[in-house]
Structure 1
Amino acid sequence: MRTALYRTGNLMTGLFIGVVLHGCVRDDAKPSVNPSIEFLTSDGYTYASDTVPLSDTLRVGVVIHKGDDQLRNFKVTATYDGGAPLTTDSLPVGTETYEFDKTIITRAEAGTERWSFAVQENDGDIIRRSLTFTVQ
């Protein structure tokens, strides 16, 4: 009798461990995919941080590709000399691929300008790419 109880106890312990371990496996074993933001590198586009003259005109283009989650909105912000970011553009996005061109005219005073391009997914995640210009 004691041997039967011992075997039953081992069997129950084994079943319990199996159920617990099985419950820890993710339902979706594939990795999640984040959206991507790519700068256009064609002629006439600025796609890297650089030193630029006062009152220069720059053209920046981005292409956004959706990840696993739907895209909610796209925002462009400018930050001057490390100050608070200012929103220059804010648009809803409902497509899998989104392209946006931004004409930037740098200030007529020396300093730094950081231009950020961000996309937010429906689950709240935000992906951001930025360019920093030293204006002289």
Structure 2
Amino acid sequence: TLRATLVAEVRRRLRASWLQRGAAEAELGWIDGVFDPDVLTVGFARRVPTYKRLTLMLRDPQRLRSMLLDPDRPVQRVVAGKSHPADEGGKALIQQVVRFADDPEVRHRIVFLPDYDMSMARYLYWGCDV
């Protein structure tokens, strides 16, 4: 299915991202449990200037956490993007999302995928519900 393809691509890119950040392959077994093809999937992918409010979802982190982990109606979010090399504000927003998504409690339900491009857009467009 399209969702299963998205889940596989998210896991592949997430593994590559963690390896690039210096993680050892032995530490990344948890990535095989990232995302569930049967859970509502919300995607956010674009350039990350400060005015696009990427971190609005983090305004109430406990509420976001409870939505991601709801036992009856969980949600998963895939966030993909990049900022202009000279946009320090955009880079700071991405760092906030990455810090939240790195939390072991929620990292199976929210991911940040760096270096958003058209090949990634195809997976997100067809595999996300929203």
| Short-chain TM bin | under 0.3
Which has the larger strand fraction?
Answer: 1
- Higher relative CO (CA 8 A, sep ≥ 6), structure 1 or 2? 2
TM-score by length of 2: 0.25
Higher CA-based Rg: 1
Which has the larger helix fraction?
Answer: 2
